[in-house]
A = this chain, B = another copy of it.
Amino acid sequence: MEKLINYLLQFGQLNPHQIELIKSKAITIKLARDHFYFEAGKVQREVAFLTEGIIRICYYNRDGDEITKYFLDENNFVVDVNSYTLQIPTVEYAQAITNCELVIISRENMQELSMTIIGWDAIINKITVKGMADKVNRISPMLAEDATERYLNFMKKFPNLAHRIPQLYLASFLGITPTSLSRIRRQISE
């Protein structure tokens, strides 16, 4: 819960009264490894802030292959903005790949906070834009890199994450097969 508040404070000011209000609107939940926080077909009716663990966002392409779109670690919001904003079903899955702790605020409570706290919308918008920009800037350069560079950059960005992610999922994110990733890892260690 404190992690959420600290994160929000990076994007705007909140007085103690407002902080208490936010806390009263949020609940903490646990999500066990391998379980899904949301699944394709459902409509997002809440936002979740990841305070512990790693979640991967994935979907299925026309060939039925499972594609890992990106990973989220601590201090990130886990929400399909499109589904949440427009109240339409998401097409993605959010799966815990470690045990996770999430702070949840329902859509109704978000709207109450929006009406009560001056500047709340501005904070949320900054966070939303930053979150999406991070994704673009992380994924975009990967197209111009070969698999080894993609892997090394991922390792550099998430040094503590690579060992916790099943190679299957990491390979899918990097756009290569698990076999290739295995070879790349061997080659690097030599």
Binding site for B on A (CB under 8 A): 61, 65, 67, 69-70, 81-82, 85, 121-122, 125-126, 128-129, 132-133, 135-136, 139-144, 172-175
Contact = CB atoms under 8 A, between A and B. Distances in A.
Task: Label chain A's interface by main secondary structure.
Answer: helix
Given A85-B126, A125-B125, A70 B132 contact: no
A143 B174 contact: yes
Contacts of A142: 143
A2 to B, nearest CB: 26
A88 to B, nearest CB: 12
A67 B144 contact: yes
A45 to B, nearest CB: 18
Nearest to A143: B175
Contacts of A81: 129, 133
B129 A85 contact: yes
Contacts of A133: 81-82, 132
10 contacts: A61-B141, A85-B129, A125-B128, A132-B135, A132-B136, A139-B139, A139-B140, A143-B173, A143-B174, A144-B172
Given A135-B136, A143-B143, 20 more contacts: A67-B144, A69-B136, A81-B129, A81-B133, A82-B133, A85-B126, A121-B121, A121-B122, A121-B125, A125-B125, A128-B129, A129-B129, A132-B135, A132-B136, A135-B140, A136-B136, A136-B139, A139-B140, A143-B174, A144-B172
